[in-house]
Structure 1
Amino acid sequence: MKIAAVDIGTNSMRLMIAKIEDEKIVHKEKYLFFTRMGEGMDKSKTIPEEVIERNINSLKEIKGICDDREVDKIIAYGTSALRDAENKSEFINRAMDKSGIKVEVISGEEEAYYGYLGVSRSLDLQDFMIMDVGGGSTEFIRIENGEKKYLKSLNIGSVRLNERFSLKDPPDKKQLDELMKHLDEIFDENFGDENVDASLVGIGGTATALSAINLGLDSYDPDKIDGSVIAYDDVEKIFEDLSQMRLDERLAVKGLEPKRADIIVAGAAIIKRYMERDKIREIIISDSDNLEGSVYHNIKKK
């Protein structure tokens, strides 16, 4: 059986086609489309017409890929940007009409749960915190003794923060100080004095981009990314380097996808500040995330 999972995120749309045997993913292919669903969404809660068209065109392309691969079922879900959009119903209806793909909008808690399912099937850990930095939100999933303790979804993401603070090219010190202060306030409000004494696992585009940069990859290699470890000192250095570069310089950074170059500073800031706050010395990167999790969730429902 083949199942396709489509994650319609704030910055990108991702497709995974998974071959299933004995309720396990035995082979997968992944595709990435930079559709920027959340463009302008921090100020306006309406998805602009050009953004709707851009995303529907990608869904039509995805439907063609799925048909060519003889996929049995397509699971498509929208996250932060669609959750916030006042005209989400218009997008969902038009997506179905134009592409034949039914899109469901999932909650932040469901998104976090999918991330947990994906990571738990990939890494052999018992006590850990998953951190999923997306374009519009960041999910945290705390695992103790192999069981979920809590899920949190915070409205901080690489696209959202980049737009909210109108980061210059490159950002100036005042902007970065204000960004860090905002992150401190969000973390304090949601975590208080809690200090997590467990492994930190990073999933999502920002985390995998930092790993690719740290490894100096010429092209994305999931086998090298999955299970890779980045020390805090390296996260800090990458952030400092990127935040001092102009966009044209970031575009030349090895391992960084060009269409992520304009938002990577805000995304890296989230990871850096959280690690700094809890004195976390390293972050483990997982290539398996909510795409795999959504498939396993679908299998479990049967």
Structure 2
Amino acid sequence: MTVIAVIDLGSNSVRMTVSRYHANGSYDVLARFQEMVRLSAGMGKEKVLQPEAIKRTLVALEKFKLALEAYNQDKLSVHAVATAAVRQASNQKEFLSAFKKTMGFNLRVLTGEEEAHYDYVGVVNTFPIHDALILDTGGASSEIVLVRDKKAIHAVSLPVGAVNISERYLERDIVSARALFQAIIGLRQLFGDIAWLHEAMNLPLIALGGSNRTLAKISRKKEKIQDMAIHGYHLTMSDVATIYQEILGKNLEGRKKIPGLAKERGDIIVGGLLPLIELLLYTESRQVIFSQSGLREGFLFEQITLNTGHDVVSPEPAAMTVDTEDVSQ
């Protein structure tokens, strides 16, 4: 038995999943932690991580480090990966040094292709899918993977996500039609440059990332579903459009009051959902399937296979969750 902690340092939030796995490839999740840090806030064209954002992130990491003391250190393996914000940062070297000073080990910066790969591994091991399009919308990037016959055929990482779309195009309070149209045009140009995207026409879209999961949470609140677990939850294109119209019709304070939408996400949810909306329209997909499994799970699954020589076995359902985004609702 080995306990493994995977820290995912994203552009909008930092998350940690602690799991236990066994020699036969089986595993169960012990705990999940999340802090909204908005690391990519204010990076601008110069791509500079801002001092306050770095401070928020390091404070969150200190909390994670403290939480890890509850586990047997002799049997604990800790891995940390960073995505778009750190990947793009012009002051990346300084941040990596600050991370090591805080945590005592190195932070691995993933390429966009590696991030898409781990998303795929996380999804394909937890869904009985054969053909689908995967979209992971983060804070500063979006990863898209085309899956055919359970194999990743094409993958791309785009430098657009909830935070930088919102900062570049959209007003913080009431989003104007003009600003929204500019954001849409920007996204359509990016999608148009992906030569293989036409191969995904009419395929189901599997959605990952905080903004996309928020869509599922809003829907479940509207339907008065008590259990907020969203892995495998389905929405039609019509359902998605109805919820997005509701979000667009409110100002910032109104968005913060929508059940299922964390207050900390109110200023970026319009931009955060745009890649999903536009990809649904572009591919004429009729449904979205939401995944709770993504980068962290993909990394975990790969470690399990490498260390045990076995395929991953589905986990036991029980897991303690410490998720500040969910608790706020």
Match of 2:209 in 1: 204
Match of 1:255 in 2: 260
Match of 1:170 in 2: 174
Is the Cα contact below 8 Å between 1:59 and 1:101 reproduced in 2? no
Structure 2 vs 1, CA of residues 228 and 242 (structure 1 numbering), >3 Å: closer, same or farther?
same
Structure 2 vs 1, CA of residues 193 and 215 (structure 1 numbering), >3 Å: closer, same or farther?
closer
- Note the C-alpha offset of 1:220: 9.5
- Deviations along 1:129-160, whole A, 9 cap, x unmatched? 11101110110111111111011101110101
One-letter code aligned to 2:298: G
Mapped to 1, the partners of 2:45 and 2:170 lie a distance apart of 11
1:35 aligns with 2:44: no
Structure 2 vs 1, CA of residues 193 and 92 (structure 1 numbering), >3 Å: closer, same or farther?
closer
Match of 1:108 in 2: 112
One-letter code aligned to 1:152: V
Matched residue SS, 1:216: helix
- Note the C-alpha offset of 1:42: 3.4
- Note the C-alpha offset of 1:209: 0.6
Match of 1:2 in 2: 3
1:149 aligns with 2:153: yes
- Note the C-alpha offset of 1:77: 0.7
Unaligned runs of 5+ in 1: none
Match of 2:315 in 1: none
- Note the C-alpha offset of 1:168: 4.1
One-letter code aligned to 2:133: M
Match of 1:123 in 2: 127
- Structure number with higher relative contact order (C-alpha < 8 Å, ≥ 6 residues apart): 2
- Note the C-alpha offset of 1:301: 3.6
RMSD: 1.8
TM-score (normalizing by structure 2)? 0.87
Mapped to 1, the partners of 2:148 and 2:136 lie a distance apart of 18
Percentage of matched positions with identical amino acids = 27
Structure 2 vs 1, CA of residues 141 and 192 (structure 1 numbering), >3 Å: closer, same or farther?
closer
Mapped to 1, the partners of 2:235 and 2:48 lie a distance apart of 37
- Note the C-alpha offset of 1:87: 1.1
- Give aligned pairs, total: 301
Bigger shift: residues 41-50 or 261-270: 41-50
Among 133, 136, 142, the residue aligned to 1:138 = 142
Mapped to 1, the partners of 2:226 and 2:212 lie a distance apart of 13
TM-score (normalizing by structure 1)? 0.94
